[in-house]
Structure formats: structure tokens, C-alpha cells
A and B are shown apart, each in its own frame.
Chain A
Amino acid sequence: MILFEEVSKSYYTGQQALQNISFRLEDGEMVYLRGRSGAGKSSLLKLINLVERPSMGRIMVDDISLGGLSERGMQLYRRRIGMIFQDYRLINSRTVYDNVALPLVICGRPPEEVRKRAMASLDLVGLLEKRNYYPLQLSGGEQQRVGIARAVVNRPRIILADEPTGNLDHDLSLEILKLFLRFNRSGVTVIIATHDNTLVSACPRRQLVLESGRLIQDIPAAAPQAAQAGGSAS
């Protein structure tokens, strides 16, 4: 469960990124965060991943108040979140395999477990054959799939995707979307920040629509997902 209670975020420059945001996501939901560039989608994801802290309000994830987490607690918390970026954020000096294995290495898993799970994750996104390639030797779609494999390798309960198809064409975007649906079906909560209408229309789910840092609409998913959606716009 992810709960936002009257959350606001402003930066030291005075820019108000989010204003009075409240919503609730249940476990296993898949949600689109929609809005134009600068609407606050990325800021909202950063708050969930603790890259930023809210200026006001409270964020709860599985009954844990994120505001009260220590540095160490934050590090452990981030390990349970799968983060996917528009610009992939891959380490270009490391192979595809090393990139995917990184979250497990960070957790201190033994090499055998790292190998098995990284290979399984690469197999899941169809890049097992290219595990020894370097990211810059891959296409954009493939790099994003590496990013997805890295995000899911540690079996997160929540996946945050920030414009995951922003740099991809239509077909590749749908391919990536299928992966998200697959994870969601296995019970993972998926939040996708996007301004790509084709994704939403190809696979309708609950939508949180942001505009100028405000949550202006909470559109429930069409049946059968409608029954799962429990949030409401403030």
C-alpha cells in the first residue's frame, strides 16, 4: 500500500513541484501517472523512491512512514523498489550482466545466487544472449529492457517507471508495456509516469492526472481493475 496524505514539495528555488497531493494505492495495483512535462510526475516518483523528501505531508509505504526513515533505513527501502528511468541510467563501463546483477551485489548476495537471478532476469526480458554486451552496443529498446531487468532482479514489491517509453517507438513501447503487465500480474505494484496516450489506451488502468503539481483527476481503471482501485483525488 502506498499512501500520500496532503503531500507538498517545494524546492529551495521556490518552485512548487507538488501541492497537497493525497491518494492511496493498494498492493498489486498498476497506475499511470499522467500529465504534461513539469506537471510533477517525476517529483512524485522521487518522493516514493526517497530521492526527495516532502516539504509537507506524509507518505506511507506498507505502514512505514518514509519521513521517519534514517539513512540506513532509506538504503534498505530503496532495495525493495524497482526504478526504471527514461534515460535508462545504465553503467556504460559494465556489461549488461553486471548492470543487471548490481542490485543483488549491493544486497551482498553470494555469487551463485547473483548469477542465477541475473540470468533469469535477463531471460525474462529476452536479453540473455546479449549479457556480455555493453549498454552502448544495444538499441534504445534493448537498453530499456536491461533497465527493467535490473529493476526486477531483486524481486521488488513496487516498480516505479519514469517515462519508460519516452525514447522508444510505438512497437517497442508496447513491448515494454507487456513486461510491466507481466510483473503486475505477479502481484507487483507498478507506477508508470507517462505522457504517452498510446500506452494508456493500449492497456487501460487507473490514472492519476497531475497538472502544475496538483492532482486534478483520479480516473479509475475499467473493470475488472476498477474493483481494485481504492484511491480518490483530494
Chain B
Amino acid sequence: MRMARRSGGTGTFLYRLFGRPLEMLKSSFAMMWRTPIRTALTIAVIAVSLAVPVTLYLLYSNATSVTDGLHEDSRISLYLKRTVTEDRGRALAESMKKREGIKSARYISSDEALVEFSKTTGFTEPIVYLAENPLPAVVEIIPDETVSHSAEKAKALLQELLKNQLVEQGKIDVDWIKKLNALADMLRTLTFGLGVMLVLGFILTVANSVRIDLTDRRDEIVVEKLLGATDRFIYEPFMYASFWYGLLGGLAAWWVNEVFMVCFDSSVQELAKQYTPDGFDLTFLPVSAAGLMILFSIALSMIAARTALGYVSRSVEPE
């Protein structure tokens, strides 16, 4: 008796390459359809597991883009001594521009400072009655990103600048940078931690679904093994089902994320209008990133299924 018969031919090859996978896609979908509630619940858990970290990450990205703008506003104001002439003040500002850690420096004369003060505060009348302009000339410095994102570096820069003899005093509010950075760090850590936990939940959900599916089909698998089915043949429907779980779960996660972001966008616009007439453009999940998320979902689902199958199918043997 020959142990193996080779069934060759182009037809067989093409069938194995295209026909069989297509059949399996259809039959595994039908298998899932037979247990709609379980399937829907599994897909829902996958969707939430993916949507929550992705949405949090998007919020973090949006928040970072806002705070990046705020960092640019983390200016250092150097108040010059009254004896410093305008020419020397402007020369100082020019020399500051060349220093490391400084993005730009601008000289503001005491007159310009007064005009700006009047504009921003509306205190025009009382200032007119003053005998002389009480405001000193200022060199306004905008640190570059390496400094503006670190409260310690910003403080150190200020200390350096205060050593200049033309400078009377300097000012920078670094506490809010600290708070902002801490908040951003917390959001990032939260996103990462939640992401890890939810991805773990995702894996366990798919693995458990596959385990239940396999247990439900125990008798069928025993018959298949008795007829000489390979592990690959037995795993196939479950692997294709896990593909569907991943695909549908990924698509649902995208949808959940979009719905949340649309709802959140209207709230953000309302809030932004209070500060700027232009509003704020909330960044949504790009299509390419959504595609990657779906691919990740499929891959993770199939890895989870394969791992579960390896463990569970060993317990299903003909008796």
C-alpha cells in the first residue's frame, strides 16, 4: 500500500492556492454566523480593545500639538537696566540670537512696551497722567525646542542670561511647563498602559472564542482526525475565523474611534472658540494609520488563535 498519493496537476495547484482559501473564508464566515451573539460580542470586545488606546493616543497627539504651540509661548523676559540705551539693547538682542538654546530674541523699547501694555490692558488714561514711562526696555527671548520642553533647561538658560550686566532682572514661568509636561507624560503612560492591558484582553478574548468554537466542534474534529486530517486542515477554519474576527474587529474599532472623535470634535470647537476665532483642527485617525490598525488587529487575532489552537487541539484526540 502506498502511504501517500500525490494529486498533482495545475487544477489542484490553483485550487489549493485560490479555491480552498476562498472556500474557507466563506465557510468560516458561515461558522461565525451560526453563533451571531458570540461573534458580535467578540468583535465588540476587539473593537473596544483597539479603539480605546488608539483614541487615547489620538487625544494625546492632539494635546501635544496644542502644547507644542504653548511651548513656543514660553518666553523669557529680560528687563534691562534703565541706563541701557536703545542701541545697546538692540545689540544685546542680536547677540542673544546667536546663543545656543535661543530661537529668537526681540528688543522692545520702553515706549513700545507701554503701547503694548495699553493695548492688552486697556489702561490708557491712567498711564497718560504718569510723569514718565515706568516700564523698562525688554529683550524678549523665545527658547528653541530643546529648552522650551524642559523646565530645568529653561531655568538654567535664564540664570545664564541674568549674568549679563545690562540685565536688571528676568522672568520665566516654568511651573506651568512642568505641569504641562507631567500631564502629557501621564496621558502617554495611561495610553501605553491601557493599550497593553486592552491588547492582552484582545488576545484572551480571541483565544477564548477559538477555544469555545473548538470545543463546540470537538466531535467533528475527532472524525476529521480519524479520517487522516492534518493539524493544518483542522486549524484552517479557526484561523480563517480569527482573520474575520481581526478584520471586523479592526473595522469596528475604526468606526468607534471616528464616532468618538466626531462627537469630541464639536465639544473641542466650542471650547476653542472661547480662545481663538479660528477654532482648532482636531486630528482624526489617518486612513493609512487605520489600515495599519486593521492589519495589526488581523495579525494579533491570528496569532492568538494559533496559540490557543496549539494548546486546545491536543486535548481533542480520537478514542
Which A residues are within 8 Å of any B CB, using their own CB? Answer: 49, 51, 61-62, 64, 72-73, 75-80, 83, 89-91, 93, 102-103, 106-113, 150, 157-158
Contacts and interface: CB of A to CB of B under 8 A. Distances in A.
A138 to B, nearest CB: 17
Contacts of A79: 227-228
Contact of B7 (A51, A90, A108, A111): A108
A188 to B, nearest CB: 11
B281 interface: no
Contacts of A72: 230
A180 B225 CA distance: 24
A150 B228 CA distance: 13
B35 to A, nearest CB: 12
A168 B9 CA distance: 43
B41 interface: no
Interface of B: 1-5, 7, 9, 11-12, 15-16, 19-20, 219-220, 222-230, 233, 318-319
A109 B20 CA distance: 10
Given A110-B12, A111-B19, A75 B230 contact: yes
Contacts of B233: 106
A80 B220 CA distance: 19
A73 B227 CA distance: 13
A158 B228 CA distance: 14
Contacts of B15: 110-111
Mostly, the A contact residues are mixed
A111 B1 CA distance: 25
15 contacts: A62-B1, A64-B1, A76-B3, A78-B227, A78-B228, A80-B1, A89-B222, A91-B223, A93-B220, A102-B223, A102-B224, A106-B228, A106-B230, A110-B9, A157-B1
Nearest to B7: A109
B235 to A, nearest CB: 13
Given A51-B318, A110-B12, A111-B15, A89 B226 contact: yes
Contacts of B229: 75, 106
Contacts of A111: 15, 19
B230 A109 contact: no
A109 B16 CA distance: 9
Given A51-B319, A64-B1, A75 B220 contact: no
A76 B3 CA distance: 6
A103 B225 CA distance: 10
A106 B7 contact: no
A111 B20 CA distance: 9
Contacts of B1: 61-62, 64, 80, 157-158
A110 B11 contact: yes
